[in-house]
Amino acid sequence: MPDTLVYSPNAYRNDYNDDYQSRSLWVNYLMAEPFPEDGSTQEKGLGIPLDLSLAFHTDAGVTPGDSVIGTLAIYSTASDNGVFPDGTSRLASRDLSDIIQSQIVDDIRRIYNPEWTRRGLWDRPYYEARKPDVPAMLLELLSHQNLADLKYGLDPEFRFDVSRAVYKGILKYLAYTEGRDYVVQPLPVTDFAIMPLSGKTIRLSWKPANDESEPGSQPDRYVVYMRTGENGFDNGTLTEKTFYEFEIDSLNTVYGFKVTAVNDGGESFDSEILSVGINEKSTSTVLIVNGFDRVSGPAWFDNGSQAGIAWWKDRGVAYHHDFITIGDQHDFNRKNPWLDDDSPGWGASYSDIAGTVTAGNTFDYPYLHGKAVMEAGYSFCSVSGVYFCSQDRSFSDFKIVDLIFGEQKSTSFFGDTSRMRFSIYTPEFMNRIREITASGTSLFMSGSYVGSDLLTYNDSTAIRFAGEYLHFMPRTGHAAMTGDSYATDYAKPYFSGSFRFNTDLSRSIYQVEAPDAIEPHGKGSVCAFRYGETNSSAGVIYEGEYNSVVLGFPFETIISGEERASLMKQILKFLEK
């Protein structure tokens, strides 16, 4: 694409204008309009037909309290006598903008905030609304300068739902203008599990997710994707059933599976990735439970005069990976005004990680756990946390259960503590643990907040449960800044050595910014691991009617694969004794 025609309409004299103008000029180049605007060149574009143009922005502006700036839609009827080159009325841009804005605001109010502000529907000659030669909308979703807006904007679930709303708005606009029906693509499946049947045969099962706002989005078929070892996924197998049986070909190999839902509207996002493997020398199978499904924005605070992102408390959990953060906030004083871009006032942050890709929740940690389990000489299968906690299932036949809790923790619904998400110690989870330990099943549990999640909202029932069934008591969060840990003398002869887990921003594995210190509770429980930095207790083991190992940091964040394998081998040997 010629940069002189599209990316430098101001002859490199004004980067700001070049930036926002280039987007509309790019649209028109694709559609074959001659450039520049004065027609001084006859060079043509690419002749690609387009339906519409959408400029997705966030706006500026602040409020003194918790009021949301909200969502603005801009279109333009000002140019070319109110018609596009193909004769379509420029009022089509108004229809497009109205439908998308309505869908966004309706969905946000239904799911997140019933008082979300619907700002104006403006007919203004902004370049990105005026210049494209197709129906165009300039969307200002929310204010990136306002904490009340940004606590939503930094949340991955909110961003998904807003993006889905934009997609639905575009879909409905196109169906309306073309006089046809539409089908909304499905949501990702839920309740995913891989369980052994007999011999080398396994059974995958799942359930479709229900989108109450779009009942026509239900799937009628599914695609099962498979990978072996560290290879990529295959092209998938189509099925109309909600289960899939597969015979494992290669022993001593970790297989990974994910599922998507499909209908005439398209294909959903991926499910979490579950793994399975059969070790030819194994006499038992470890059940791995992927209880880490949290994605979340960072912690925030607002005491009136001071407000902002509490990055030191919790950086949140991105969906897979993220690169939206340029640095930590350092100006929290609401009274500090914007002076210029070098002194932006309230909300100012460092720029040391601009453009840096950081890992979030990849939903693929059964692979790392399973690989270590296989190397220790065991077979394994894996299930989602939802599946594990469902009442109509039984897992008492498993001798060992590995509970992955990563950075799972109780997270208030944007400040509303009556609506908690991602809790570890749900009634269903605690009932399941009581059930399987009664049959002698041993437990391995790890996560950053396995202890502090008990203290945050002072749940006395959950605290008693942790002491009685997991045999530990919480001591403190933020137990260490570095990830050095080691086995104590109390843990001999079962455990030895040292290991390091990730406490830095990284592209390969999420950061553990606040590991827990937990302490042994009751007879048979001892401190097995300590943090090298503080010597506080990093893990507890229990030996009794069943055995248990609980770590105050996530096992999968141990940086070295060799150290993960060594520790897992020690853990499984202890649990099976």
Secondary structure, 3-state, 234-278: CCCEEECCCEEEEECCCCCCCEEEEEEEEECCEECCCCCCEEEEC
pLDDT attached to residue 360: 98
463 occurs within a structural domain: yes
Answer yes or no: do 470 and 531 share one domain: yes
Of the residues 330, 360, 390, which one is the last residue of a structural domain? 360
> What is the share, in percent, of the chain residues with pLDDT greater than 70?
98
- Work out the pLDDT band at 38, boundaries 50, 70, 90: low
- Work out the pLDDT band at 33, boundaries 50, 70, 90: low
Answer yes or no: do 318 and 401 share one domain: no
- Whether residue 10 has pLDDT greater than 90: no
134 occurs within a structural domain: yes
pLDDT attached to residue 516: 98
Q: Nearest to residue 71, comparing CAs of 95, 19, 107?
A: 107
Q: Which amino acid is at 363?
A: F
- Work out the pLDDT band at 43, boundaries 50, 70, 90: low
**What domain count does the chain have?**
3
CA distances from 467 to 190, 348, 401, 464, 542 (A): 31, 44, 18, 5, 11
Tallying the residues shown for the chain, one arrives at: 577
Mean pLDDT of the chain: 95
pLDDT attached to residue 374: 98
Mean predicted confidence (pLDDT) in 14-34:
86
Answer yes or no: do 437 and 510 share one domain: yes
Answer yes or no: do 345 and 374 share one domain: no
Answer yes or no: do 352 and 375 share one domain: no
Q: Nearest to residue 244, comparing CAs of 202, 211, 215, 273?
A: 202
Q: Nearest to residue 481, comparing CAs of 517, 529, 527?
A: 517
Answer yes or no: do 534 and 399 share one domain: yes
Answer yes or no: do 429 and 321 share one domain: no
Q: How many CA atoms lie within 13 A of 328 on its CB side?
A: 10
137 occurs within a structural domain: yes
Answer yes or no: do 355 and 398 share one domain: no
CATH of the domain at 60: 3.40.630.40
Domain range for 559 is 279-287+362-576
The alpha carbons of the chain give a radius of gyration, in whole angstroms, of 27
pLDDT attached to residue 32: 76
> What is the share, in percent, of the chain residues with pLDDT greater than 90?
88
Answer yes or no: do 349 and 368 share one domain: no
Answer yes or no: do 442 and 335 share one domain: no
Mean predicted confidence (pLDDT) in 455-471:
93
Instruction: Identify the H or E element spanning 526.
Output: strand 525-531
Higher pLDDT among residues 43 and 528, named by residue: 528
Answer yes or no: do 417 and 565 share one domain: yes
- Whether residue 41 has pLDDT greater than 70: no
Mean predicted confidence (pLDDT) in 28-37:
70
529 occurs within a structural domain: yes
pLDDT attached to residue 39: 52
Answer yes or no: do 567 and 529 share one domain: yes
Mean predicted confidence (pLDDT) in 35-55:
74
Of the residues 161, 178, 195, which one is the last residue of a structural domain? 178
- Whether residue 37 has pLDDT greater than 90: no
From the CB of residue 95, how many other CB atoms can be counted at a distance below 10 Å?
16
7 occurs within a structural domain: no
- Whether residue 366 has pLDDT greater than 90: yes
Mean predicted confidence (pLDDT) in 38-55:
77
Task: Pull the structure tokens for residue 381.
Answer: 């299968």
Of the residues 329, 360, 391, which one is the last residue of a structural domain? 360
- Whether residue 304 has pLDDT greater than 50: yes
Task: Give pTM, 2 decimals.
Answer: 0.95
